[in-house]
Structure 1
Amino acid sequence: MTGSTMTGSAAAGTGAGTAAAGIEAAARLYQAGRMAEAIDTCRAVLAVEPRQPEALNLLGVALFSAGQDAAAREALCEAVRSDPLSPATLTNLGIVLQHRREWPAAARTLRALAALQPEAVTAASRLGVVSQETGDLDGSVRFLRRAAHLVPDASVQWYNLGLVTMLTGNMAAAARALRQAIAIAPDGASAQGQLGQTLLRLGRLDEASRAFHRALRLDPSAFDPTIGLARCGRYRTASSAARASESKTGSKAAPEPGLAVRGALESATGYGYFCQRFIRTLRQRSVPLQAIGIFGHESWKEENLDPPVPAKALVNFLIPLAVERVPGLATVTYTMFEGTRIPPAWRRQSEHSDLVIVPTESSRMAWAAQGFPEDRLRVCPLGVDPEDSDGGSGVPTLVDPRGRLVSSYRHRFINVSDFIPRKNIDGLLRVWLRATARGDDTVLILKLGKGNNPAFAAELGELVLRTEAAVGKRMADAAPVVLINQFLSDADMAGLLRAATHYWSMSHGEGWDLPLSKAGALGLSLIAPRHSSYMDYLDDRVARLIPASVRPAGLPYSTEHYAPFHGLDWWDPDEDAAAGILSAIIRGDDSGRPSARDHLVQGFTWARAAERLLAILDDAGLR
């Protein structure tokens, strides 16, 4: 951080001279690392001259160094109010706000600094970081490019520019920035490794391999170049098999058409789940497969799917930014999106895909709305699992916070979600507070996250407090909520779903809601917003649907963007309508309990999903 701006001369007057002497003394204490004494000395100056800007600035710096972020912020804000044209104070306040993750305020402060010092690299570089955190990736690239041109011989500026440019989907520009970083600092192992990752996305396999080898020579313990080389090896064998297969086409020895697929072979994510389900179903149809994991070194555990097969395409069950191209193979991306329009970065990287396959019409429209060519878009719905994929699991014994068995409640609602703003947990809790009372014969089972977020309790606690304040009612005065925050196997998840009578979503958008569709297949009554993927597999005959309207994607109780959806829209479920649906169920006033079970189990099978996927590839001549 920048320290106090010292003039080296005493100001006129006895009071000013005393203040200057005190500030100089505080600065010496700060530089000596004696923070407590520096803080006391600054406060002594301010007791005499409360708005002295240099004393406020140095106080803020010392407080920040002592770990008192909130007090540092207050002192530096006062310093800026006292002297709004001080570059040192603006720099320090920007750093504190950035550290506290107050992104909009940090951006305003750093923009003011950039206006005062347009040729200084600090504001441009930090604005690049702040813009990235808010999701404004294109803005981040502009600031980081400016920082790199202001200090063209600083390798770190080009490296940072390369990393963020990768996130925008402009891989060629990212490679140029990383090469510039390497030209300035040839011993940078990280830059070599990132260059390899970028080149793989461009399909330049040999160049990527050389970059990974250089990175490992510089840092033999580096993990990313190691797994990068593993993928290079898998891609080479797949590419060679494709060339060999092409040479045999039309001969009596022509091999049966197969597929190379890449995805999360070992992941508990949604993408991992449907990738694994597709592979199992295709193998049941005896389709020759080569399965390549995200990192490259993973193997399909159920049988040997490592060897290459005759294939024309690599099917990626991944988001577009994770897709890597393989020479000689067409690039197919099976993915989805949860808003009305995909991010510009996804649009840029999707350009490298010969086909983009999505599970619902909602996702197809999101790609088309961002200008992706519709003749390269296809829809292939996912399957729904009525069975327990791990062989069956019993219903767990759950007890609510008041000691009552969950199974004893007449109406048992459940929601399974990652703890992220898109899932609209704040909206769900607001509706629960409004629609239920302490004495109601109902309970909410809330399964949030996978137990791997150390800040979960604090973040949820803050969200609950804000929700109680917004509604004007405490959670203790509503029906009970049973909270589960841990990883569950597929079988345990099925058992948990069976503990409920209703599955209820208030999500702002879904590419395909796996827990809800599973719950419907198990016979639970479904309540969901009338938007996004829900419209492809639900209707008023089989579910209670909540009206929804489009609005900008933002954070709960904030005007800030939700970073992954920066500048994009999603849907806002009508909370009055949702509260009415819940109240009718609890009071027994609704018109019955629709079931989606037969509709989902018969209409959305994994066998049908696999057949549709193969038909899409056959029609495109990619198998």
Structure 2
Amino acid sequence: MENAFETALGLYRAGRGAEAVAMLRALADHRPGEPAVLNLLGVCLHAAGQTDEAGTALRAALALAPDHAEALLNLAALRNGAGRRSAAAACLRRLLVLDPGLRDGLRLLGATLSEMGDLDGAEAVLRRVARLVPDGIEERFNLAATLCQTGAPDRAIRALRQAIALRPEGAFAYGLLGACCLRAGDLDAAEAAYARALRLDPAAADARHGRVRVARYRATARAARSGAGPDGLALRGAFATASGYSHMARRLIEALRRRRIPLEILGLLADERWPFEPLDRPVRARALLNVLIPMAVERVPGLPTVTFTMFEGHPIPPSWLVHSRSSDVVVVPTRASRRAWIARGFPEARLRLCPLGIDPESGDGAPLHLTLPDGRPVAEIPYRFLNVSDFIPRKNVDGLLRVWLRATDRRDPACLILKLAIGGRPHGRTELADLVRRGEAATGRRLAQAAPILLVDAVLDEARMNGLYRAATHYWSLSHGEGWDLPMATAGALGLGLIAPRHTAYLDYLHDGIAHLIPAGTAPATRPYEDEPWAPFHGLDWWQPDEEAAVAALQAVIRKGAALPSAADHLRRHFTWDQSAATLLTILGGLGLAPRPEGA
């Protein structure tokens, strides 16, 4: 036994930790009071893939020696890898009380806080590391990368230049510097940074796209100064992707073109092309309209920056406020978003309200033919509830499943059509299966006891999406917060019965006469079934729909035939994309930035 520990340590250092587990177990039984043995056992168990047992061994080591630095660091790394970042951060803070200058502990704490979404906390820790290691390349670069998210561009630019001075051959750092310079509106500095990145790595896609944007912005600025042609509008958005912002940008472009507004369309990368007519030629733009989140906004010298965006919680995160300040005006679609910006300290005078539109334009499109897992056609089920969501915690899919399990029985004439965007996630179905298991445990009901659920995770084009809406009788959401919820608005415009929480965007286009609104309180924004904060909403609250009321609402429809007047007429009359475009043009006109229609 005397040399067993050294032998086990040698195996671990040689990358053969799994082979040392049995030896260390025996040693721990023979000498149970030695934390170093338990610490090494925990590390080797982790290497062998036995994560739970590794945690037990590391906790046992700390029970014997609460100040054991290696065990604290190893337990923090283990918890971080398991997604328990709050617990990992607690370990690291305890470790840093013992050794305030521990470089590895500080670096891991900074990374952990960043992954938690505590960007301000991460910045403070990474600044501390950079002071301790003034010539540390990785430390400087980690700080710079965090500042790109949290700070005004000038702070990130300074930190990046310091990191580049220590390692001038890094192409990625130059690409990041170029992006920060674009946010600051410094085209010359951005061009120089991207050019340097491409000399170091000719295949650097971000730098290549960045240079395209620099060239487009130069042309846009020249055209705006030219004085020739009608006043128009430059619009930048992710119109070529499948996101909600992309859909919003496409609809606004279409509505503005119906009004013959001269547009120059700039994609997220800048080399995307509008598919229906050439809209990549510069116009004499009065402003640059960014249909994007504030962190993605870039500025064109000489043009006012208008940002059309939204947020689903209250208030906006601190980083959103910092990035919003680079915009002259922020346009939001709902009163809840407006309150979220004001509550964080954004000037009320620089906020404008412009509701979005709906998409009922498919007219008499046929319902999508769907079949339940047991082979029955969905169309034969009298009550067909639809939910269309990204598979993220904010959409409260876990709450939907809990309520469905509690509210329905397999003999009920109902089904749930769950359209989830999990196709791009390699473990999406596994994560959903885990959520179902947790829902079953929480409710004491098995999935087989409830009315059937049909998962639709294929990517559908707009025609098939409208067919999916038409295959349902009701649309139901238990979201924790919405900037708009286009699927809900579209479903209502197509005549589906609506069940929604009484919060955020829903209160701007629904009311009790046309929808069943479920009471909702506020609660910390955490991941399903965990106390861990959901990173995008770190430190914020969101809305928690009343699940008892949701159960009652579903049962009233399914078992009592409860009905509400249709929302279709209200939504079609008051929320169209043409009305949204008209409101946007009125806002621009009030700012002295109104474009003129062609031929006017």
Same fold (TM over 0.5): yes
Matched, 1:146 2:128: yes
Q: Which amino acid aligns with 1:72?
A: A
Partner of residue 276, structure 1: 250
- Alignment equivalent of 2:10, drawn from 20, 28, 32: 28
Select 1:514's aligned residue among 486, 498, 512: 486
- The answer (yes or no) to whether the contact 2:117–2:535 under 8 Å persists in 1 is yes
| Aligned mate of 1:622, from 588, 593, 599 | 593
CA contact (8 A) 2:239 2:245 kept: no
Q: 2:475 aligns with which of 497, 503, 524?
A: 503
Other structure's SS at 1:545 match: strand
Letter in 1 for 2:313: G
Q: 2:422 touches 2:429 (CA, 8 Å); kept in 1?
A: no
Measured in 2, the distance between the counterparts of 1:261 and 1:589 equals 47
Name the structure 2 match of 1:387: 361
CA contact (8 A) 1:392 1:491 kept: no
Q: Given that residues 84 and 532 in structure 2 are in contact (C-alpha distance below 8 angstroms), is that contact kept between their aligned partners in structure 1?
A: no
Matches within 5 A, 1:198-277: 198-245=180-227, 255-277=229-251
Q: Which of the residues 391, 394, 408 maps onto 1:419?
A: 391
User: Structure 1 CA distance, aligned partners of 2:290 and 2:514?
Assistant: 33
In structure 1, how many angstroms separate the alpha carbons of the residues matched to 2:19 and 2:385? 57
Give how far 1:30 is off: 2.3
Q: Secondary structure at the match of 2:307?
A: strand
Map of 1:181 onto structure 2: 163
The CA deviation at 1:270 is: 0.4
Letter paired with 1:594: P
Q: Distance in 2 between matches of 1:232 and 1:73?
A: 51
Structure 2 partner of 1:315: 289
Instruction: Using the TM superposition, give the Cα deviation of residue 132 of structure 1 relative to its aligned residue in structure 2, in angstroms.
Output: 0.9
Give the corresponding residue for 1:595. Answer: 566
Q: How does 1:403-414 map to 2 (within 5 A)?
A: 403-414=375-386
Check whether the contact 1:435–1:580 (CA below 8 A) recurs between aligned residues: yes
Q: Distance in 1 between matches of 2:19 and 2:550?
A: 57
- 1:330 is aligned to 304
The residue identity in structure 2 corresponding to 1:61 is V
1:218: Cα distance to partner?
1.2
1:171 to partner: Cα distance = 2.0
Letter of the 1:124 counterpart: L
SS for the counterpart of 1:413 is strand
Counterpart code for 2:78: V
Alpha-carbon distance between aligned partners in 1 of 2:442 and 2:10, rounded to the nearest angstrom = 48
SS at match of 2:234: strand
* Correspondence for 1:13: none
Residue type of the partner of 2:137? Answer: S
Stretch moving more, 516-525 or 91-100: 91-100
For 1:479, the equivalent position in structure 2 comes to: 451
Preserved contact between residue 131 and residue 137 of structure 1 (Cα < 8 Å): yes
Residue 32 of structure 1 deviates from its aligned partner by 3.1
2:597 aligns with: none
State the TM-score, normalizing by the size of structure 2: 0.96
Q: 1:375 aligns with which of 349, 358, 366?
A: 349
Aligned residues: 594
Conserved 8 A contact 1:509-1:532? yes
Runs of 4+ in 1 over 4 A off after TM superposition: none
**Contact persistence 2:20–2:44 (CA under 8 A):** yes
**1:428 aligns to what?**
400
SS in structure 2 opposite 1:124?
helix
1:3 matched to which residue of 2? Answer: none
Q: Give the unaligned 5+ runs of structure 2.
A: 595-600
Matched-pair contact (CA < 8 Å) for 1:23–1:54: no
2:54 to 61, 72, 75: 72
CA distance in 2, matches of 1:497, 1:440: 21
> Partners in 2 of 1:398 and 1:324 — Cα distance?
43
1:398 to 370, 385, 389: 370
SS at match of 1:385: coil
- CA–CA separation in structure 1 for the residues paired with 2:42 and 2:523: 39
Residues 266-292 of structure 1 show CA distances to partners (whole Å, capped at 9, x for unaligned) of 111100001011111111111100000
Matched, 1:575 2:557: no
1:565 lines up with 2:547 in the alignment? no
Q: 1:97 aligns with which of 61, 68, 79?
A: 79
Q: Check if 1:494 corresponds to 2:466.
A: yes
CA distance in 2, matches of 1:34, 1:277: 58
2:18–2:47 CA contact under 8 A, matched in 1: no
8 Å contact from structure 1 (residues 169, 346) kept in 2: no
Offset of residue 50 of structure 1: 2.7
Supply the AA of the counterpart residue of 2:368.
P
Write the distance in 2 (CA, Å) between the matches of 1:273 and 1:51: 62
CA distance in 1, matches of 2:497, 2:151: 41
TM-aligned CA deviation for residue 392 of structure 1 = 7.2
Question: Does the 8 Å CA contact 2:513/2:564 hold for their aligned counterparts?
Answer: no
Is 1:610 aligned with 2:584?
A: no
1:302 aligns with 2:284: no
Q: Distance in 2 between matches of 1:216 and 1:81?
A: 53
Q: Distance in 2 between matches of 1:26 and 1:606?
A: 68
Using a 3 Å threshold, how does the CA distance of structure 1 residues 363 and 36 change in structure 2: closer, same or farther?
closer
Query: Are the counterparts in 2 of residues 98 and 106 from structure 1 also a CA contact under 8 Å?
Result: yes
Q: Which one-letter code corresponds to 1:349 in the other structure?
A: H
- Structure 1 residue 156: Cα displacement: 1.1
Higher mean Cα deviation, 230-239 or 465-474?
Answer: 465-474
Secondary structure of 1:503's match? Answer: strand
Q: Secondary structure at the match of 1:47?
A: helix
Q: Distance in 2 between matches of 1:469 and 1:67?
A: 26
SS in 2 for 1:303: coil
Task: Give 1:94 deviation, angstroms.
Answer: 1.9
* 5+ long unaligned stretches in structure 1: 1-17, 246-253
Equivalent pair of 1:450/1:488 in contact (CA under 8 Å): no
Give TM-score scaled by structure 1 length: 0.93
Measure, in 2, the Cα distance between the counterparts of 1:208 and 1:405. Answer: 57
Aligned alpha-carbon RMSD (Å): 1.5
- The corresponding residue for 1:107 is 89
The question of 1:192 aligning with 2:156 is answered: no
Instruction: Tell me which residue corresponds to 1:45.
Output: 27
The SS at the match of 2:288 is: strand
Asked whether the 8 Å contact 1:242–1:312 carries over to 2, the reply is: yes
Q: What's the CA shift for 1:589?
A: 5.1
| 1:507-546 alignment runs, 5 A limit | 507-546=479-518
Report the alpha carbon displacement of residue 551 of structure 1 after superposing the two structures with TM: 2.1
Cα distance in 2 for partners of 1:372, 1:189 equals 36
Amino acid at match of 1:301: P
Letter in 2 for 1:405: P
Equivalent residue, structure 2, for 1:155: 137
Structure 2 distance, partners of 1:31, 1:581, is 60
Distance in structure 1 (CA, Å) of the matches to 2:379 and 2:57? 55
Q: Secondary structure at the match of 2:415?
A: strand
Between the aligned partners of 1:26 and 1:36, the Cα distance in structure 2 is 10
The question of 1:171 aligning with 2:145 is answered no
Q: What is the letter of the counterpart of residue 574 of structure 2?
A: G
Q: 1:33 to 1:553 in 2, by over 3 A?
A: closer
Which structure has the greater CA radius of gyration?
1
CA contact (8 A) 1:169 1:321 kept: no
Amino acid at match of 1:284: R
Decide which of 227, 250, 266 is 1:292's aligned counterpart: 266
Greater mean deviation of Cα atoms: 578-587 or 315-324: 578-587
Counting aligned pairs with the same residue, the percent is 53
Following TM superposition, by how much is the alpha carbon of 1:265 offset from its aligned partner in structure 2, in angstroms?
2.1
Offset at 1:45?
1.0
* 2:273 alignment partner AA: S
Name the SS of the counterpart of 1:464 in structure 2: helix
Aligned amino acid, residue 119 of structure 2: L
Q: What are the superposed Cα offsets for residues 521-552 of structure 1, whole Å, 9 maximum, x if unpaired?
A: 11111111111011111111111111111222
2:455 is paired with a residue whose SS is strand
Distance 2:499 2:485 in 1: 12
CA distance in 2, matches of 1:553, 1:401: 34
